[in-house]
A and B are shown apart, each in its own frame.
Chain A
Amino acid sequence: MHVPLRATGGLVATAAVLTTLSACSAPGTASDGADTRRLVLADAYEPEPFNPVGGHGETGSSKVYDGLVRLGGGTGLPELEPALATELPRDDGTATTWTVPLRDGVRFSDGSTFDAADVVATYSAVLDPASASPIAGNYAMIDRVEAVDERTVAFRLAYPYAPFPTKLLLGIAPSEALETPGPAEESALNTAPIGTGPFLLSERRGDRTVYTANPDHWGGEPEVRELVVVYVPDDNTRAQRMAAGEFDGTTLPPLIADTMADAEGLTVVGHPSADHRSVSLPAGDPVTGDPAIRLALNSAVDREAMVTDILGGHGTPSYTPVPAVFGDSHDPDAAFRHDPDAARARLGAAGWVPGDDGIRVRDGVRAEFTLMYFPEETLRRDLAQAFASDALAVGIEVDLAAVARPEFRPRIPVDAGLLGGGDVPYDPDTQLYAALHSSYTRPGVGGPFDNPGDLADPAVDAALDAARRSTDPATRAAAYRTVQQRFVANPPAVQLVFLEHVYVLADGDWAGTEPVLEPHAHGVSWGPWWNLRDWRYTG
């Protein structure tokens, strides 16, 4: 009896369109015959260089490296479980020093032994300016890393940081490979990774990357013996090849994925994510900086329609950057109602009156602003168009501008932008602090994407700081609820939607898939394949 992918964690009802299909349907050419222990996946992105110092697997998605901790599955906020650590890190009571005991007897793929020196070398390399590591900023709280002994490391932080354990998802590379300081971009690890992870990189040719199970993995050799990831950037091509049975799975835009929901032998799965889309509103602009306009836009946009028509139901409306998955830290009452009439009334009361062409004017200023989006992303294009259409309905003109990444960034303080968020979602702190804390409005602090709406609310600052410094869950949750209430009272942005990342799987003889909260990044490193190490063969 073949069991089609069993979801042990119980997939969220809205998340999964599970078509339980009968057993022996042909799973497609990719997994026929002798290749039953192999999976062939198609990804929309080229594999990034395999160097943890360059940012590979920062959120714990690496197949070839292990972090000190790793994610556990489930529909809620993922629990961290020890990986190269033997237990979860403990702090000194002030959240400024964190001590981590390390696993014994672990070997890197080159045969060398894993010890504290490797952890120190990896984190030091990330922080070393000579590495030019693009993720250095995410580890800015670390003052120094010390090897207490061969099997223990201590992280000393520059300031108290309660969610520090989430920073231990970073993959660990051997100290020998990091000996010579130099740009991460030029490291040999980029193409020849040396890790302790469940898989080994065995081939990287053209559009395909092949991993084989690591027989010496400390957690046991994975039952998935070979993983082939093919790079197919074009959504349409990927969909055709998936439908033709070439792949065991891939990631697809929601609407296209849903066309396969009824196909025999295919299953469409949605994973929750903290990945959100929002419209930033520059504070310096007389239109986007106006509190009445900001509130009116928030009631003018029809988030439900965006979820239904643009995301095909694969998502949820977003009112603040905090998704419901954060549990007690999420305030369900911090929300907006879709009410264009209320928006019009509010604008009228604030002195914005319709001009000849229907666009509102106040003191000679037209209610008009530019909204930037990335041209290559159809989702952002569609959301931007829908937003502009909704705004027009209440008398605010939004001029769309397709702006490529290099130009986008410097224009953030000037023009509204359709932003994505939720890069490191495993704690409300990383989801909120840089986005809303007023210290990021000062010139030179952070980047332009930090607090783009220049929110400066002492109550928000105080709550964010209190939550970061406290290790008491109740205190932290209360503080984050305060932040959300302040956010909807005086919104610095228009949050639009939380996305559900959508994947298509060919049915096969595997068990062990489990949903997990995904970060902004997605692709086949995530999806049903994030925990490939735990999949069990049932054929």
Chain B
Amino acid sequence: MADRDLRLPLGVGVLVLLVAYATLVPWVAGVDDRVTDFSAARLAPSPGHPFGTDSAGRDLFVRTAAGLRVSLLIAVVCAALSTVLGAVVGAVSAAAGGWVDRLVMRLVDGINAVPHLLLGIVLVALFRGSLVAIVASIALTHWTQVARIVRAEVLSLRDRPHVDAAVLGGASRWRVVHRHLLPAALPQALVAAVLLLPHAVWHESTLSFLGLGLPPHRPSLGTLLEEARSSLLLGGWWTLLFPALSLVLTTLAVAAVGSGVRQRISAPRRGATLR
């Protein structure tokens, strides 16, 4: 892995391309995805349809873009919600200390003890087809990692001189958290948010794949892959390949960006401890 330094720019580049594909293509193509033509179903890739067509005769180049857009949008919302929730809980927990901290950490352990997808399945099964349920099932299970990171960061910052100074200067505990600790922990929280994105994309696509997430007529990476299962038997390998490829690329690009950024943020300290 000699080219680690390339990972960040490469990840950013791929991600920008993917986001551009997801947002621009459906818009430029101007295809009404309510219009179907079943007589043109499952056409192989051709110059007219570079990714082929799906089981309802829609162009897959456009539909994959639309699916990616939906999946990314859900993922961004989920990651943002979990990050806010996690950052608040983590900071409060670390600042409050004592039994509050212990209780919160037990709660975090408790939530982590239950497989997240299972919680998601239960939640989404009981509130079938509801977008709120999908978002909630992801956000409510993924905030714990952010909470841990932020808590650890706040704990390590608490003993820094400027914080001590603020405390000695008579600032209230909450003011210290608000003014000094939270801003300092923010970069770590943001990295955590970025790293949550692929999880959220996975989670959504998995739920949709199992038939519990988005409705089948709505394009998302999960619903497209679920549809690919039957198209595969009818010879439509392209229905699996292109959505799967965009899912994997998205995950890898986001992961590269996240770990690249984290490397940069923590490089000085990490270098000191490991060398």
Contact = CB atoms under 8 A, between A and B. Distances in A.
Contacts of B39: 305, 308-309
Interface stretch (A66-74, A290-298, A401-409): A401-409
Interface string B223-235: 0000001101111
A388 B58 CA distance: 14
A375 B130 CA distance: 13
Interface in B14-31: none
A382 B211 contact: no
B234 A386 contact: no
B160 interface: no
B216 A305 contact: no
Residue of B215, B217, B229 most packed against chain A (CB within 10 A) = B217
A422 B38 CA distance: 26
B205 interface: no
Given A400-B215, A407-B128, A389 B36 contact: yes
B129 interface: yes
Interface string A378-405: 1001101110110010000110111110
B38 A382 contact: yes
A378 B34 contact: no
Interface in A486-517: none
Given A305-B39, A375-B129, A382-B38, A236 B216 contact: no
B114 interface: no
B55 interface: yes
A391 to B, nearest CB: 9
Nearest to A391: B34
Contacts of B230: 235-236, 253, 256, 378
B215 A385 contact: no
A384 B38 CA distance: 12
A375 B216 contact: yes
A240 interface: yes
Contacts of A397: 34
A376 interface: yes
A309 B234 CA distance: 14
Interface in B50-90: 55-56
B14 to A, nearest CB: 31
A466 interface: no
A140 interface: no
A259 interface: yes
Contacts of A256: 230, 233-234
B232 A236 contact: yes
Interface residues of B, number: 22
A357 to B, nearest CB: 11
Interface string A202-237: 000000000000000000000000000000001110
Interface residues of B: mostly helix, strand, loop or mixed?
loop
Interface in A255-270: 255-256, 259
A381 B234 contact: no
A438 B102 CA distance: 65
Interface string B204-242: 000000010001110000000000011011110000000
Contacts of A406: 128
Contacts, number: 70
Given A236-B230, A259-B233, A400-B217, A386 B129 contact: no
Interface in A509-527: none
A402 B226 CA distance: 15
B217 A236 contact: no
Contact of B217 (A308, A384, A392): A384
B233 A375 contact: no
A402 B129 contact: yes
B6 interface: no
A26 B103 CA distance: 67
B34 A389 contact: yes
A403 B35 contact: no
A403 B56 contact: no
A401 B34 CA distance: 13
Interface string A232-253: 0011100110000000000001
B123 interface: no
Contacts of A375: 128-129, 211, 215-216
A239 B233 contact: yes
A398 B35 CA distance: 11
Contact of B35 (A306, A389, A402, A404): A389
B36 A378 contact: no
Given A253-B230, A309-B41, A381 B217 contact: yes
A385 B41 contact: no
Nearest to A380: B216
A310 interface: yes
Contacts of B233: 236, 239-240, 256, 259
B38 A401 contact: no
11 contacts: A235-B230, A236-B229, A236-B230, A239-B233, A256-B233, A378-B216, A382-B55, A392-B34, A401-B129, A403-B129, A407-B128
Interface of B: 32, 34-39, 41, 55-56, 128-129, 211, 215-217, 229-230, 232-235
Given A305-B39, A381-B217, A402-B129, 17 more contacts: A235-B230, A236-B229, A240-B233, A253-B230, A256-B230, A256-B233, A378-B55, A378-B216, A378-B230, A382-B38, A382-B56, A385-B36, A392-B34, A398-B34, A400-B217, A404-B129, A407-B129
Pairs of residues from A and B, 10 with the lowest C-beta to C-beta distance, nearest first: A402-B215, A309-B38, A404-B128, A389-B36, A309-B39, A385-B36, A400-B217, A236-B229, A381-B216, A389-B35
